[in-house]
Structure 1
Amino acid sequence: MMRSGWFAIGGLALGMSIAVAQGPKEIKVAIKTSTGQDAGTATFKTVKKGVKVKLELKNLPFGPHGVHIHQNASCEAPDFKSAGGHFNPDGKKHGYMNDMGHHNGDFPASVDIGEDHNGTATFVLGSISLDPVAPNSLFANGGTSIVVHEKADDEKTDPSGNSGNRIACGVIKN
């Protein structure tokens, strides 16, 4: 986005244009299982206190599942290890219950999947941004990914809250 304006310096008027980087206000990411089955979506929307994340998950096993933002924009099946570790530009430990602070990509709770194999959850994360030039941007270094794990996140054990294997993944890119 370009912004223009006139500025006065010591009686001299100067016309200037300043480029302002802006990311999308909202992005929707498709999530897939290791077999390529549709596992739902994650919608990321900029809000005053950070980024609102709405998860609409399906075709997943019954029970609680840890969900995290991971550092790489890659979801290579079957294990999704290409997604790398948790998104953590602030260099903190894992989990909202960790006294050392939480990873930028940590969520404050697991997502419950019902007997119908569906589940929804909404969180506002103040530790991430959709602004491509912010140090905590989901688009930094080519993007990130969202990963669903097989078990609940205990919110304290480093590095991933004992949440088990990665069972679904979606790439987050601008």
Structure 2
Amino acid sequence: MRILAAALVACLMTAPAVARSNDSLTVHLKNSKGQDAGTAKFKQLKDGRVEIKLSLKNIYFGEHAVHIHEHPVCDAPDFKGAGGHFNPSGREHGLENPKGHHNGDLPNISVGEDHMGEATFKVDYLSLDPSASNSIVANGGTAIVIHEHADDMKTDPSGEAGNRIACGVITEPKP
């Protein structure tokens, strides 16, 4: 019975949890214990940018890095299957980009003492268009990862952000 329960949890952790409506996509995040860690809502804006609305919960107090990783895999407890940072342009972290971002880096998010945090980012270096070279849904998708520490925006490639503590698979849902 325990093996069946463990297999079910493993399947739920790797299954994409997304909903798509027009030019938007909602991704459900889970922490390393499989608990709900919030949502990331992606919306393709008319000006070409992507808006990301993060609503986190069950994350400990402090500043946390938010990165898009290259593989659509969220394998608890360490989420290493998500691979490295999504970086189709090959930018060096903090050196070539004056904002200090790879293509997959997002600004840090602050989580309060209530273990919740919200932030909205608008970026011009990601796309929801599957035909774009910087698409986060092309080729099977990517993952959004929350790290234990803030990104220092200069150390290549990790930003010294520490362990991966929450993850959500970003894929284009099948019609």
Scaled by the length of structure 1, what TM-score is found?
Answer: 0.82
**Which 4+ runs in 1 deviate beyond 3 A?**
none
**Structure 2: distance between partners of 1:83 and 1:170:** 10
Distance 1:140 1:83 in 2: 15
Q: Are 1:100 and 2:96 an aligned pair?
A: yes
Q: TM-score, normalised to structure 2's length?
A: 0.82
SS in 2 for 1:66: strand
Q: CA deviation at 1:125?
A: 1.1
In the other structure, the counterpart of 2:110 is: 112
- State which of 33, 36, 49 in structure 2 corresponds to 1:35: 33
Task: Spell out the pairing of 1:54-93 with structure 2 (5 A cutoff).
Answer: 54-93=53-92
> Secondary structure in 1 aligned to 2:105?
coil
Q: Does 1:159 align with 2:161?
A: no
Fraction of identical pairs, as percent: 59
Instruction: Please state whether the residue corresponding to 2:95 is helix, strand or coil.
Output: coil
In structure 1, the residue matched to 2:169 is: 171
Of Structure 1 and Structure 2, the greater helix share is in 2
Instruction: Give secondary structure in 2 for the equivalent of 1:99.
Output: coil
1:130 partner amino acid: L
Q: How is 1:131-146 mapped onto 2 (pairs within 5 angstroms)?
A: 131-146=129-144
Aligned residues: 148
Q: Which one has the bigger strand percentage?
A: 1
The alignment's C-alpha RMSD in Å is 1.2
Retained in 2: the 8 A contact 1:24–1:130? no
Question: How much does 1:103 deviate?
Answer: 1.2
Partner of 1:8: none
Q: Distance in 2 between matches of 1:80 and 1:150?
A: 12
Greater Rg over alpha carbons, structure: 1
